[in-house]
């Protein structure tokens, strides 16, 4: 068995606001092993980014409350001090943010920003750090890195900026790389390049990756395991093939059905999940997806547990529906076709 790098147990994150307590993450558990890619999928507001930022210690604030454990190499990161956290952040865990346009500092050269990241964690002189920066830019596929290292962010295209972000995230050889919607702001062609790059670098750097996205298509061929999140909860969790070929949660079907697919004939209409995600201050009673679920019945007013219902035992879902019923009905949703009743 591969080395277990990260174990998240029952993580809850709450923020106190003037409007009430926001339950951003409400009980998330997963494990991450070296060399693996974990996909976290969900809509905006499902808590996937807050989960990632909490792993990095970026949600620490007077108004936030945490429960559960984030065990990294045997140490609970929720308990360490802010100064100790700085040693993990960047050095042990690197993060790639969604928007390459706003996450680089526009008034510093690309090279300076990479050198800063390196010298924060390692005692190494400027020249050596800069050589490392050039090498990193080469590894992430920036052509002519000796010249480009002295460019400013505005001289890079969107795809190149995201590559530079990846170079910064990798600068200290982190064991865990967290990519939060790394391709959402990019063209499909560049998206394909970046996903392939992350997958390759994971092997080169012998690390593990958490890939966060709202598009199941993006993680289909790189993730080993996928977590589907809804309203701060894990609603389904399975190995990638199991999730795509035997999805158990109606929300997962909806996500699959929303993707305009090129591998199938064009349906009359795309499936769409009606309505929008619930407010995290006033969660619906019972299953959070109930108000949008076309298959909801009276039992759904109680919250279903995250349990195994199908083979293999690692496949968990949060739904009261009968497995046979689900297998008979999910096809319509996934293939699109009939519009759901509003």
Partner 1 sequence: MSEVAQPGQPLIEVRDIKKYFPIRSGLMQREVARVHAVDGVSFAVQPGETLGLVGESGCGKSTLGRTIVRLYEPTAGQIIFQGVPIEGHGARKLRPLRREMQMVFQDPYASLNPRKRVGSIIGDPLKIHKLGDKKERKARVEELLETVGLSPEHYNRYPHEFSGGQRQRIGIARSLALNPKLVVADEPVSALDVSIQSQMLNLLEDLQNEFNLTYIFIAHDLGVVRHVSDRIAVMYLGKIVEMSPAEELYQRPIMPYTEALLSAVPVPDPDLAAKRERIVLEGDVPSPINPPSGCRFHPRCRYATQVCSEIEPPLVEYGNGHLAACHHPLNVDAGLTAVGSTSAEGPA
Shortest Å, Cβ 121 to partner 1: 31
Residue 70 or 209: which CB sits closer to partner 1? 209
Distance of closest approach, residue 293 Cβ to partner 1, in angstroms: 13
The nearest distance, CB 143 to partner 1, in angstroms, is: 7
- Give the Cα separation of 105 and 95 in Å (integer): 16
Instruction: Assess 196 for contact with partner 1 (CB under 8 A).
Output: yes
Site for partner 1 in 269-288 (CB under 8 A): 269-274, 276
* Among the listed residues 18, 62, 107, 262, the single contact to partner 1 using CB under 8 A: 262
Among 10, 20, 260, 331, binds partner 1 (CB under 8 A): 260
Q: For partner 1, how many residues bind (rule: CB under 8 A)?
A: 44
CB nearer partner 1, residue 106 or residue 143: 143
The residues in 134-153 that bind partner 1, with binding defined as CB under 8 A, are 143
Q: Please report whether residue 318 would count as binding partner 1 according to CB under 8 A.
A: no
Segment lying near partner 1 (by CB under 8 A), choices 114-122, 131-139, 165-173, 186-194: 186-194
Pull the structure tokens for residue 132.
């490392």
3-class secondary structure per residue, the chain = CCCEEEEEEEEEEEEEECCEEEEEEEEEEEEEECCCEEEEECCCCCCHHHHHHHHCCCCCCCCEEEEEEEEECCEECCCCCHHHHHHHECCCEEEECCCCCCCCCCCCCHHHHHHHHHHHHCCCCHHHHHHHHHHHHHHCCCCCHHHHCCCCHHHCCHHHHHHHHHHHHHCCCCCEEEEECCCCCCCHHHHHHHHHHHHHHHHHCCCEEEEEECCHHHHCCCCCEEEEEECCEEEEEEEHHHHHHCCCCHHHHHHHHHCCCCCCCCCCCCCCCCCCCCCCCCCCCCCCCHHHCCCCCHHHHCCCCCEECCCCCCCEECCCCCHHHHHHHHHHHHCCCCCCCC
Which of residues 66 and 152 has its CB atom nearest to partner 1 in the complex? Answer: 152
By CB under 8 A, residue 20 contacts partner 1 = no
- Binding-site member from 128, 147, 192, 281 for partner 1 (CB under 8 A): 192
**Site for partner 1, residues 28 to 47, rule: CB under 8 A:** 43-44
The reply to whether 255 sits near partner 1 by the rule CB under 8 A is yes
Q: Decide: is 103 part of the binding site for partner 1 (CB under 8 A).
A: no
Site map (CB under 8 A) of partner 1, residues 47-76, x = contact: ------------------------------
Q: How many CB atoms sit inside 10 A of residue 329's CB? A: 14
> Can you tell me which residue has the tokens 């065990």?
71
Residue from the set 154, 188, 203, 313 that interacts with partner 1 by CB under 8 A: 188
Question: Residues 241, 299, 309, 338: which binds partner 1 (CB under 8 A)?
Answer: 241
Query: Residues interacting with partner 1, by CB under 8 A?
Result: 43-44, 143, 157-160, 187-193, 196, 214-218, 220-221, 240-241, 244, 254-263, 266, 269-274, 276, 339
């Amino acid at each position: 068995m591969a080395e277990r790098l990260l174990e998240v147990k029952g993580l809850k994150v709450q923020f106190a606001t003037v409007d009430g307590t926001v339950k951003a993450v409400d009980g998330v558990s997963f494990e991450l092993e070296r060399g693996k890619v974990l996909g976290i999928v969900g809509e905006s507001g499902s808590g996937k980014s807050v989960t990632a930022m909490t792993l990095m210690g970026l949600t620490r604030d007077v108004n936030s409350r945490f429960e559960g454990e984030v065990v990294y190499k045997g140490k609970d990161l929720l308990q360490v001090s802010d100064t100790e956290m700085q040693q993990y952040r960047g050095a042990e865990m690197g993060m790639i943010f969604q928007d390459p346009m706003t996450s680089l500092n526009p008034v510093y050269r690309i090279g300076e920003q990479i050198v800063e990241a390196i010298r924060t964690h390692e005692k190494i002189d400027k020249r050596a750090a800069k050589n490392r920066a050039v090498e990193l830019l080469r590894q992430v596929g920036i052509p002519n890195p000796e010249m480009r290292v002295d460019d400013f962010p505005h001289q890079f295209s969107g795809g190149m900026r995201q590559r530079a972000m990846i170079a910064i995230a990798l600068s200290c050889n982190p064991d865990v790389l967290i990519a939060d919607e790394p391709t959402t702001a990019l063209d499909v062609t560049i998206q394909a390049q970046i996903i392939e790059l992350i997958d390759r670098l994971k092997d080169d750097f012998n690390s593990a990756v958490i890939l966060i996205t709202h598009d199941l298509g993006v993680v289909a061929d790189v993730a080993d395991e996928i977590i589907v999140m809804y309203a701060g909860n894990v609603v389904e969790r399975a190995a990638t093939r199991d999730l795509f070929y035997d999805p158990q949660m109606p929300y997962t079907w909806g996500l699959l059905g929303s993707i305009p697919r090129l591998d199938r004939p064009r349906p009359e209409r795309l499936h769409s999940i009606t309505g929008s995600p619930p407010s995290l201050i006033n969660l619906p009673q019972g299953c959070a997806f109930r108000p949008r679920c076309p298959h909801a019945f009276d039992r759904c007013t109680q919250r279903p547990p995250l349990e195994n219902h199908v083979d293999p035992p690692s496949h968990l879902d949060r739904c009261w529906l009968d497995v046979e019923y689900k297998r008979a009905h999910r096809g319509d949703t996934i293939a699109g076709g009939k519009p759901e009743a509003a």
